[in-house]
Structure 1
Amino acid sequence: MRAFRAGLLACCLIVTLCSPVAADPSPSSRDVKKARQNAQERSKELGATTAKLATAQSRLDQLAGEVERLVEAYNGEIVRLRHAEQAHEQARTRLAAADAEVERARQDVALLAAESYTGLGPMDPLVAMIIDQGDADGFLHRAGVLGQLRGERAAILGRMRDAQEVVAILRTQAANAYSAQQAISERAEQAKLAAEAAVARQRRETKGLRAQTERLQREVDAARSRAERLARRRALSLAGLAGGSAMGDVAANWALTQLGKPYVWAADGPRTYDCSGLTMRAWEKVGVQIDHWTGTQWTSGPHVPLDQLRRGDLLFFGHLSSDPGTIHHVGIYVGRGQMVHAPQTGDVVRVSSIWRGDLVGATRPR
């Protein structure tokens, strides 16, 4: 019974509120053709730019490969740096051992020098040889001992010389290892900086390409959408949709068929609605796609002076600012200063006067 009453009320309101003002003229075939040509031109532009983007993307891929190479170069230099540090440490260890060997040889040589400064004692082999000249066997024995001592002294001196040569070689190796370590460290840092710079360039170029692609895609979509809307409007007009009513009439009349349905936040039908959900579905009936948000519905077409309102125009409430969220309500004009809208939680779709203190303007969707 409630549905019957709502339908009856809708029929009565459609008859009562239909304005005698002439509807928007339907687009001509020339308008549709021009819109389609514009869409084609934009599509060609997009195609040409897409080819450029493909080339740019190829450069980006190359850059990404170069970044990977530089990063791996950095990793390689870090490995070499660690090896150089190990070689330097090993050289320092060998040098310390060689220094100890030189010190031991130096002590032996110092002992020999000390003995040479103490003079010849009674037990010195050379003195004994002089004393025992009459004893041939003793002389030969002493001579052999003296030769052995001289050989030991020569060996001590030779060992010290060898140790000193080893030390000199190891000092050179340690110095070279340290220099190599420093050079590799610098190359590693340079490779790292180069990789970071390449990554930064890649990010900037990628960001620019993404913005360019999105902009062009939006332009093409807008051109195609306009051409499609004009074509649909012309087709609807030629088909005499809703007894020859204009698109706004169709949208307004459909909205009136939804009277009595509950308001539900963020709902867009078919059983419940919020304000922008109702207006979105009303204009969808004539092939015009608008967002489920008052912020973009406000810019979905030209703004209409309130003294030139036509049925189907969208009426907005709130206050105007740079923030579209300050427009908080929308209804659809049905004629004679009235609108159909989904007011608020706890209410239903109904007809109300448009003359509210927070009325900020009207838009005719396209």
Structure 2
Amino acid sequence: MLTSGTARAAALLALTGAASATFLHGTGHAENRLTPAQVRAKVDQYRREAEQATEKYNGAKEKADRARQALDALRDQAARRTTRLNTARNALGAFGAAQYRSGTVAAALQLALSSSPDQYLKRASIVERAGNRQSALITAVGRQERKLRQVRGEAADRLAALRASQTAAARHKRTVQRKLAAADRLLDRLTREQRRRVLAALDGDGAGGAGAGGADGADSLTSATGRAARAVSYAYAALGKPYIWGATGPYGYDCSGLTQAAWRAAGVSLPRTTYTQINAGQRVPRGQLAPGDLVFFYSGISHVGIYIGGGRMIHAPHPGAPVRVASIADMPFAGAARPA
């Protein structure tokens, strides 16, 4: 027989379970009842959140790469300094052993035993030089030990930074995957025709899609000059290649990976992320854009494309959509920069 307390607990658990089941059942039905327009809005939101996480992943990965390179350099330096320290220690040990074998006679006794003051002075000079050499070796050993400790300390700091960046990158990667999976689940609830229409609305650009260019593309290359022309030319050559998050080419790109690769082909090194690329070079007002400029979107500076003229850009939109031409009016404009 159940006690009153046990009965109350059992009843509470039963009610909680029923409420949870109702909540989950209701949530599923609520999601299934989303209209295609609501699905489109939610998918667009998930994609933008995934892109924000992608840029954070890119930044964390860049930091990890730099930390790894610095750590490797410090480890090489520590190995070289360890070799120098061992060499200095061996030299000091050999010097001490030589002194022990030969014996060291006090300077006053040497003078008493010497039949020639000149001979004594010569011996005293040798002893003094030997003492100076021993002192120098001791100083060198101490210096090498201090530098080795310093290098090892710096290496430990770099290792900690590397691990922190790797942890952050893994966390952002999971966020990207979670957001994209949520978007896919929403799209899977639609009929085939609804899905086609939603994707067309999300991916439509009004500029001819991946293959756009033609005479307009030639005009863009003509109006661009020098390095900007080379960057724009690279972007045109990337049309149709897939969006791959975290990628910088040549087989696929994310948004900042495309702009970085395009300007790298022009001989300019850009940082890896959207929020650092916007500070690379001269800021440009929207009304003064020129082909080759970097154009940024959304309040968090989470998307970037390369301007090609006529109010259009080439960009890597999101997973599932290839590199394409789009209007810069398609997204909330956040600023522009002209790489130097």
TM exceeds 0.5?
A: no
Question: What is the TM-score of this pair, normalised by structure 1?
Answer: 0.40
Question: What is the TM-score of this pair, normalised by structure 2?
Answer: 0.43
Quick check: which has more Rg, 1 or 2?
Answer: 1
